[in-house]
Structure 1
């Protein structure tokens, strides 16, 4: 267990993120070309979607119905609760949206560590759990954007009173939530992988699977630079962010255990679902927020995800979720 924790904390992706932060703090002139950041975001969204779709294509639909409903419910409940808690703590709408999407989505690296955890303990689990990593990304992003758009529409209600219509209010929400480029690419890529199956795998594997870890390193270097340049903004919220980053994971981890158990997952599958529920995204959500809510400060939601929740889950979280699952099994 200790070796697994060390291996993950010293992974190139995390170390390059830290390198980006250090470069920003020491005022280095290191920076990535402007167009490269967007290109890397598009690549990562396609890669995540394709892999999940290919995994889903290997299973019959009836095997997936209950776990699928349970997983999607997490993607709806968690961002709603998180957004509400953030607003109660005085965090502004844009940053509350970023945090809600971050905690409603998942960390692929944390999930990889969870796989190693259950395999090391010889605990069997459902192979399609890999696809649920993707299925938890989009709902949280969509729900968070819908909440933000609804509140923005309500705040402009006086201006719209004479031209109110369902289209004028909900049109932008539908467009951003379902057809914004981040969600559209990820869901569309999942469908391509689902339809193509193994045939798609032979085509996309060299670019979107084999090169994925290296592209992730470059993406996180850029995100580290972005976060490091805005770290001062975190001080504005102080202990609020610290409390959220540490307390939210076990709450959502327990929720994942409950939903996993009643969705019919095995003991191992429930542990993995609880880790997914407790984790926080630092790949798909930053890409989506950069495109859809650029006002949200990456230093806040990335700082919480990588600086607090990620190490918590690797050190304390997974053993804790394992014990929680034992209560039910």
Structure 2
């Protein structure tokens, strides 16, 4: 009887389990079906929008869309790839002089207290059309009176006459203008070209301007903590939270902007991803050769450090994003994809070169036959299989285990090369890449929804876009602490290693700029100046998250101290202080010297 009851209970539990699994499967299928249906409809809507040559219209609706579409069809033939239109009611300092074809700066005016706050958000934007708002008439008497009163008090007037203005913008500019228009009032002023200064003067000006930005001040604040022996430890949980937030925010914003790209621009982004992958692979090999030639390092350490430089740095990338936003410089929306793609080559180059060294007889401590301390080739039985992945924190200063080949991944790499499932999983699905790619996918899907209902992205934008700089300041505080501590590890590195850590990033950044410009000239496609700067930091920076994780698994014989000392103590510090301004000037020089032909 008991058995029968027990069997009945089991059957009931099994039935409930099957019912629950069936319900979950049905929900998943319905959700996937709805998503596919929605994506198809939004794709058709966007395709229809592109074919009709209609643009995003904000601030004021157009009355005759058919007539506007016909006019735009004629203008599209002479418009560069990637240009959009932004139409809104804006303030104009001097409406009598504003006309179609002029280049203007765009500022955001927000009211607070007795006076408004004015912040320039876009530079050198071309005006397509200017109209007087419907139902309003120009009132020059009131405008003149306001300007005279402001001149008497030596302040700029807070209220200017309004006009309905259509601007030609890129997708990045469109997003920035859209967000700003929701925050306050936009004001136009004539663009003034300050480019007629020497390169050295421009670098000095940018350096002084960047030196006192909040981002770098927080970095210097953190850098001073170890120097002054301040008893402060940055909370590890907070650092991890900031890293997750910044990676997801970069992915979200990039995916949201990519949702508005035309298929031709997505093709350009795909080609650029291939270029970036190849360039960083070449840089990883070149860095290894330079270290082998100009420093007395062991071959395994040269390969490891070279692989760090064949990858990129998320910290340098987000710092460059903050500086570009401060300077009002734009970049193409798909650059976060480049951050993810260009992190992989260094890992693959390092694993490939290390596998060659192992086949050439490297011993269990990482020494080669012609190096001091060589103890004979390591056999398969010399590798331990039960030690796990070692220390999880890439910033730990424990050097006692640096020569102990104790990980399962090391044995797998020794026998199976770079095709070990554990190694491939760490390369392509490490937490940083997953958060970045996840943010891209979510941002892209949400951006497609926002093409129909802009309110979908309002809340996430307030979190991921508005709070980005504040979170970056705290992140750079921790980076300053870590960079200063890593400088102590350079005492035994040698002068040549220090010179490499400071000068090699400039060479690699220039290679990246030249590769991007060659790709630009081959396509006849103009990239934003900020895109050049981001490409430079992706090529000139060194990894300190992804590659150390792979090294812990696959290359435990190598020193964990030297590569992090170079990437954080030297290269990161150089890039966020002097490097980024220099790369911007390099980009301007290349763009001006070798102009891209219009296709």
Check whether TM > 0.5: yes
- 204, 216, 220: which one pairs with 2:476? 220
List aligned pairs for 1:196-275, cutoff 5 A: 196-197=446-447, 198=450, 201-235=457-491, 236=493, 237-266=497-526, 269=527, 271-275=529-533
1:93-112: CA deviation from partner (whole Å, max 9, x where unpaired): 44333322237996344356
Query: Residue 595 of structure 2 corresponds to which residue in structure 1?
Result: 328
1:136-163: CA deviation from partner (whole Å, max 9, x where unpaired): 11112122222333345555566379x9
- Considering Cα pairs closer than 8 Å and 6+ residues apart, tell me whether 1 or 2 has the greater RCO: 1
More displaced, 31-40 or 107-116?
Answer: 107-116
Confirm or deny that 1:58 pairs with 2:246: no
RMSD: 3.4
Mapped contact 2:498–2:566 kept (Cα < 8 A): no
Query: Residue 319 of structure 1 corresponds to which residue in structure 2?
Result: 585
Question: 1: distance between equivalents of 2:482 and 2:575?
Answer: 19
Query: Residue 534 of structure 2 corresponds to which residue in structure 1?
Result: 276
Q: What are the ranges of 5 or more consecutive residues in structure 2 without an aligned counterpart?
A: 1-201, 360-378, 381-410, 553-559
Mapped contact 1:106–1:137 kept (Cα < 8 A): no
Q: TM-score, normalised by structure 1?
A: 0.81
Mapped contact 1:49–1:187 kept (Cα < 8 A): yes
Please identify which structure carries the higher helix content. Answer: 1
Mapped contact 2:533–2:584 kept (Cα < 8 A): yes
Question: 1: distance between equivalents of 2:570 and 2:237?
Answer: 26
Helix, strand or coil at the partner of 1:58: coil
Query: Residue 232 of structure 2 corresponds to which residue in structure 1?
Result: 30
Question: 2: distance between equivalents of 1:288 and 1:80?
Answer: 15
Question: 2: distance between equivalents of 1:115 and 1:99?
Answer: 26
Confirm or deny that 1:190 pairs with 2:440: yes
Query: Residue 72 of structure 1 corresponds to which residue in structure 2?
Result: 273
1:268-316: CA deviation from partner (whole Å, max 9, x where unpaired): x164433222124899954545655573654421344443334444444
Structure 1 residues 141 and 9, CA gap change in structure 2 (3 angstroms) = same
Question: 2: distance between equivalents of 1:225 and 1:115?
Answer: 24
Question: 1: distance between equivalents of 2:350 and 2:478?
Answer: 26
More displaced, 210-219 or 100-109?
Answer: 100-109
Question: 2: distance between equivalents of 1:15 and 1:115?
Answer: 16
Confirm or deny that 1:21 pairs with 2:258: no
Mapped contact 1:71–1:132 kept (Cα < 8 A): no
Higher radius of gyration, 1 or 2: 2
Q: What are the ranges of 5 or more consecutive residues in structure 1 without an aligned counterpart?
A: 120-126
Mapped contact 2:273–2:338 kept (Cα < 8 A): yes
- 17, 28, 40: which one pairs with 2:242? 40
Structure 1 residues 115 and 265, CA gap change in structure 2 (3 angstroms) = farther
Please identify which structure carries the higher strand content. Answer: 2
Q: TM-score, normalised by structure 2?
A: 0.47
Structure 1 residues 299 and 317, CA gap change in structure 2 (3 angstroms) = same
Query: Residue 213 of structure 2 corresponds to which residue in structure 1?
Result: 11
